Amino acid sequence: MSNKKSGFLPDDAIEKMEEDIPKIVLKQFPSQPILRIGFMEGYEKIDFRVSGKFNLTDLSGEPIFTDVTSHLKWRSLLEQVHGATFIYSVLVTACREEAQALEMVERLRRLHPQVRMQRIGGQLVITGQMVNDNTKYRILAGAFETEAEAKKLLQKFMEEYAPRVIREKVKDPEGKIEVYDAEYDYSAMIENGFRIVPISDESTITLYGVKVGSGFNWESMSDRTYKGIIEIRVGNDARLCGISEITIDRYLKGVVPAEMPAGYPLEALKAQAVAARSEVLAKLGTKHNNDPYDFCANVHCQVYSGTTNEAESTDEAVGSTTGEILYYEDRICDAVYSAVCGGHTEHKQNVWNPPEEPYLQGIYDSKAEKDDLPKLKLTKEKAVRKWVDARPDVFCSLNRDDLPNILAYSKKYFRWEVSYSRKQLEDIIKKRTGEDIGTLYDIILLDRGVSGRLKEIEILGSRKNIRVKKELNIRRALSPTYLRSSCFVIDMEMGEIGTPLGFTFRGAGWGHGVGMCQIGAAIMALDSYKYKDILTHYYKESEVRSTYGPLEP
């Protein structure tokens, strides 16, 4: 790369990138879609054990060991590895229509000359039918050798957008992996990666020390068991990564109990299965574009726990709705969901980037005929204070005595409270945002969505003031992990000289609040709502359609 002084790629390299915009990718599946799920990243070694006969192949499918039966633990270790090479750009926004994206590129080039369009996604075809067009157009600015250089460009677009730095891979990682069993009866040195291919559908593969809940307060490690093919390869970070390759319904059998407790009513679990299936197919080809997999196994995509948490109830929910997908007009719904909406869901465009989606608009989490709810305009501060102090009669408030224990436990998420000393919060802000604001004077709540969730705040300090936009960024900036939600008010304890001593956050709900409220869905199911009624309550004017059937035995 050239032009080291500025960190830019040269203009001719940018022009070449624009010329190399990929054509629309056609993802075709003859029956159930096959997904690649990245569930392990950043490992120096990966240990595994296979129950049942299996083959071990290289990444191209060439056999290394065949018809292996081994009850021993196996280990894979990295040798002579080089990580991927990236460039860093600012993702300004994204569009669904190419004409709109091109128009935006021309307009934004007044702010910065190196603005370009990038096409991602493509058409999704199942059993010969085009079921969705997942094509999106990203608007990118700059192309830098370092992330630090790209961050300097963010400010140019802050006024109108919520930009962030992304990376684009320009060279794949390389390395050798040694794989061997505990008695060294089998051993091989393999280029870049290998695949464990069970011969029987009943075979399982156990991975040891899998990280769970990375970055959250429930982060831990556990041994997990998976069905289907497991691929272990050199990751972008010059460490080992693990990928599970499975059919979509096998994947959902691991997702549904990880995202919603298996003890919830069956109709709620069926609604969860359809929502999770729809979200996967709506986003296929648009996430993890730098990675050798379609989705990760964490909350960034959907939590996937392999067979570890599978249960009869969630298997039934997936099996009885196989192939059922939520549509709005001719598009698959990106049927996102959160744990507890707090009584009111949020507009999609207030949490993530445009465009808005008619089926993801904020609503009171209650029966349509209810007229005893407080008619509060939750974009206003006084109204939010009343809302947070109240326990309105909505589905997810759990205001009833006949709750099963598994739901009663969730009462604490409907309304919550957390306090920090000023010094604690100063340290949190510095660690989580990378900005040293000095002494924290105040936090100004600037803009809220229809559910009261904050869209923008300003943190006032003795050294600098910083603005934080978007729901997740706000929750991250003010907590060692994440605040439960961005629908909160702040009470300050003031010192004698007018400097804050402490901050108390009082809030509503758990999660981003867009789409289905999982606790609300469970209560609706207890009240005899069917899963399709639950879905159309949260995703307005949507409908369930069947797109594929069960796999043949």
pLDDT tens-digit map of 203-260: 999 999 998 766 555 667 889 999 999 999 999 999 999 999 999 999 999 999 999 9
Taking only the tens place, the pLDDT of each residue in 473-483 is 999 999 999 99
Does residue 466 register a pLDDT over 80? yes
Does residue 371 register a pLDDT over 70? no
Q: What is the predicted pLDDT for the residue at 240?
A: 97
Average pLDDT over residues 161-167: 91
Does residue 140 register a pLDDT over 60? yes
Q: Quickly state the pLDDT bin for 4 (edges 50, 70, 90).
A: very low
Q: Is 528 exposed, middle or buried (0-12, 13-18, 19+ CB in 10 A)?
A: exposed
Alpha helix segments (H runs only) across 310-456 = 312-320, 381-389, 405-408, 411-414, 422-433
Q: What is the predicted pLDDT for the residue at 360?
A: 97
Q: Identify the residue with better confidence: 551 or 14.
A: 551
Report phi then psi at 240, rounded to 5. -80, 145
Q: What is the predicted pLDDT for the residue at 220?
A: 78
- Please state, in angstroms and rounded to a whole number, the distance separating the CA atoms of residues 495 and 471: 30
Average pLDDT over residues 295-324: 94
- Please state, in angstroms and rounded to a whole number, the distance separating the CA atoms of residues 76 and 180: 7
In sequence order, the 6+-apart residues with CB closer than 8 A to the CB of 101 are: 95, 117, 137, 138, 139
The pairing of strands 136-144 and 54-58 is unpaired
pTM greater than the 0.85 cutoff: yes
Does residue 181 register a pLDDT over 80? yes
Taking only the tens place, the pLDDT of each residue in 101-119 is 999 999 999 888 999 999 9
Task: Give the count of beta carbons closer than 10 Å to the beta carbon of residue 67.
Answer: 9
Q: What is the predicted pLDDT for the residue at 38?
A: 96
Does residue 23 register a pLDDT over 50? no
Q: Which domains does the chain have, with CATH numbers?
A: 11-28+85-170 (3.30.70.1070), 31-83+173-324 (no CATH), 337-514 (no CATH)
Does residue 16 register a pLDDT over 60? no
Q: What is the predicted pLDDT for the residue at 10?
A: 57
Q: What is the predicted pLDDT for the residue at 330?
A: 93
Q: Quickly state the pLDDT bin for 551 (edges 50, 70, 90).
A: confident
Q: Range with the lowest mean pLDDT among 49-63, 189-203, 346-360, 504-518?
A: 346-360
Taking only the tens place, the pLDDT of each residue in 75-97 is 999 998 999 999 999 999 999 89
In sequence order, the 6+-apart residues with CB closer than 8 A to the CB of 420 are: 428, 502, 503
Q: Identify the residue with better confidence: 553 or 48.
A: 48
In sequence order, the 6+-apart residues with CB closer than 8 A to the CB of 329 are: none
Report phi then psi at 53, rounded to 5. -75, 145
Partner residues linked to 344 by β-bridges:
364
Average pLDDT over residues 164-189: 96
Does residue 20 register a pLDDT over 50? no
- Please state, in angstroms and rounded to a whole number, the distance separating the CA atoms of residues 159 and 44: 42
Is residue 344 a contact partner of residue 362, using CB atoms and an 8 Å limit? yes
Q: Quickly state the pLDDT bin for 56 (edges 50, 70, 90).
A: very high
Task: Name the CA radius of gyration of the chain, rounded.
Answer: 25
Task: Give which of 96, 170, 162 is closest to 134, Cα–Cα.
Answer: 96
In sequence order, the 6+-apart residues with CB closer than 8 A to the CB of 493 are: 500, 501, 502, 503, 504
Does residue 453 register a pLDDT over 80? yes
The helix-helix angle for 248-259 and 266-283 (nearest 10°) equals 120
Percentage of residues of the chain with pLDDT beyond 90: 79
Q: What is the predicted pLDDT for the residue at 372?
A: 57
Does residue 26 register a pLDDT over 80? no
Q: What is the predicted pLDDT for the residue at 214?
A: 60
Would you give the DSSP letter of residue 218? T
Q: Range with the lowest mean pLDDT among 9-18, 244-253, 321-330, 528-537?
A: 9-18
Q: Quickly state the pLDDT bin for 3 (edges 50, 70, 90).
A: very low
- Please state, in angstroms and rounded to a whole number, the distance separating the CA atoms of residues 76 and 50: 14
Side chain identity at 40, as an amino acid letter?
Answer: M
Q: Identify the residue with better confidence: 256 or 404.
A: 256
